[in-house]
Amino acid sequence: MLRRIFVHEMQSNANLDAFYALRRNQVKKSIKDVYGKNGTTIDVRMLAYSTVINMMTSMFWGGTLEGDIGANINAQFRDAVSELLIIWGKPNISDFFPFLASFDIQGIQGDMKRASRWMEKIFDFVIDPRTKNNTNISNNDFLDFLLEFKDHETRKSLSRPQIKALSCGVVSPFNYVLSSLLYYMSPPWQNLSPLLVIYFVCSIFNGQDIVIGGTGTTSTSFEWTMAELMLHPEVMKKTQEELTKVVGDANVVEEYHFHKLPYLQAVVKETLRLHPSAPLLLPRCPSQTCTLGGYTIPKGAKVFLNAWAMHRDSQLWENPYEFRPERFVGDSNKLDFSGNKFHYIPFGSGRRMCAGLHLGERMLMYTLATFLHMFHWKVPDGEKPDTGEKFGIVLEKSTPLIVIPTPRLNNLKLYH
């Protein structure tokens, strides 16, 4: 039921359109911040991360938390998420020797419990005023939607744990947050091991960052795209020329412009071909023993799909290591993120593909289009972006991309 609510209800076009104003406000704030750093260096990864996570928290509880209170709770949430990311990145010896799990030799379970309780307190702080005030005033955000939701079949409202779980799915970078909350919150999840809970949640949401990742994968994809554009100035020029033609010098980018920006869409697709956020996707488990390519795959085995290798296979792609967005232009533009063509599956395929695809795609396109339209970008003199990769929860650049922005439009009022 949770996946159905998230995919078909919360991510319907009508709901995503309804929350557009909240996304727009956060992007405008980021534009103002970048304008204030005109001519100085900026860490693209941090710019993208802060913009995306602010969009996510704004869409969830942005209708009620404003001013200092809102800034404080958002800062706490970012800190909690950052701590969870550090915990997940640590190698856990009990993954290889399960009998050691109960001893928590490295203290990872203790750290996870503490971070999860911190996360739960944040959600309680946000949810409690809405439920106690019993007001009919709409705040036009995801939390309103969840509190008012009734299942079409049972006509039952969502429970507090369900609201927290779905809330975590909306605003958190990874499903592991949701798994952790379920495990440490209440029965029946406490009867299962954390690993089983994670696999259960992965089976619901495909384990990838629910909002394509929400913050982690979206900000990583943003950085990879900017890095490729820095390395290929002719592509950058063509992309910005398209934006000028469609949006105009006197306007800012709006989401309704997207369908008129085929070249920018091709740039995003080509970036995700070379740099898929989850290079091995998430493990699948066959429900019965089967044979594939002469190999026997036992029932219940963990199967990883190497999307990174498939996207660089010379039998499937011409000059696969070359960054060439034109391969997705024209008739090839029909090659999308749906996973119907198995040589291009940056978000997986089938019923368990990334549940947050539609929202994530909107956020990535919106942030990229806006920052490319509003600013010129260059790397500091004497430097050149590298494309080294650092494998982890997501496929990040090995070194952060540092750039210098300068205003691109003549109407400076658009930056305030």
Binding-site positions for heme read: 354
227 closest CA partner among 347, 364, 329, 379: 379
> Taking each helix axis from N to C terminus, what angle separates 160-171 and 44-61, rounded to the nearest 10 degrees?
150
**How far are the Cα atoms of 44, 104, 244 from residue 38, in angstroms, in the given order?**
14, 48, 21
Residue 86 CB contacts under 8 Å (≥ 6 apart), including other chains: none
Residue 63: both structure tokens together: 């209708």
Q: How many CA atoms lie within 13 A of 361 on its CB side?
A: 21
Tell me phi and psi for residue 256, to 5 degrees. Answer: -70, -10
Residue 74: both structure tokens together: 């958002």
Residue the block writes with tokens 């970078």: 173
Q: Which residues are annotated as a binding site?
A: 354
179/197 Cα distance (integer angstroms): 6
Cis amide leading into 187 (omega within 30): no
211 closest CA partner among 402, 340, 367: 367
Cβ 210 vs Cβ 170: under 8 Å: yes
Cβ 278 vs Cβ 395: under 8 Å: yes
Residue 134 CB contacts under 8 Å (≥ 6 apart), including other chains: none
Residue 76 CB contacts under 8 Å (≥ 6 apart), including other chains: 118, 122
Amino acid code (one letter) for 141: D
- DSSP letter string over 356-407? THHHHHHHHHHHHHHHHHHEEEEPPTT------EE-SSS-EESS--EEEEEE
